[in-house]
Amino acid sequence: MTFALDHLACFLLTNLLLDKIKASAPARIINVSSGAHTSGKIEFDNLQGERDYSPRAYDNSKLANILFTMELARRLEGTGVTVNALHPGFVSTGFGKNNPGFLMKIIRAVVPLIARSPEKGAETSIYLA
């Protein structure tokens, strides 16, 4: 489900709206990705993690966001539509809060101390919009 929710959903929405976006140029498409994309690897035979699922699924989906953004920017060059991807930073959200395990308990305790607030994390998105 990670790939479907984190990548395919924005891919589909963008493509469904693309004609309207191009018709309303100048326009912007902004994809929220993550620095985790640097650890990602596209496994075409295991996109949804059916064969084996790991936390790397998130990294892989964020790499797909970056690759999609780069290709879409290339295809839309000269149309008046700007396409960007961003990493909002380490933001204190509910991400992973239902994951079990001792390590996750430690992470949940530390996150509020070192992570950005959601408001601070939104600043780059707002700037690009």
- Site of tokens 């308990």: 105
| Nearest alpha carbon to residue 14 among 31, 26, 1 | 31
**Residues annotated catalytic, as ranges:** 58
Rounded Cα–Cα distance for residues 85 and 106 (Å): 30
The answer for residues whose C-beta is within 8 angstroms of residue 3's C-beta and 6 or more apart is 47, 48, 49, 57, 60, 61, 64
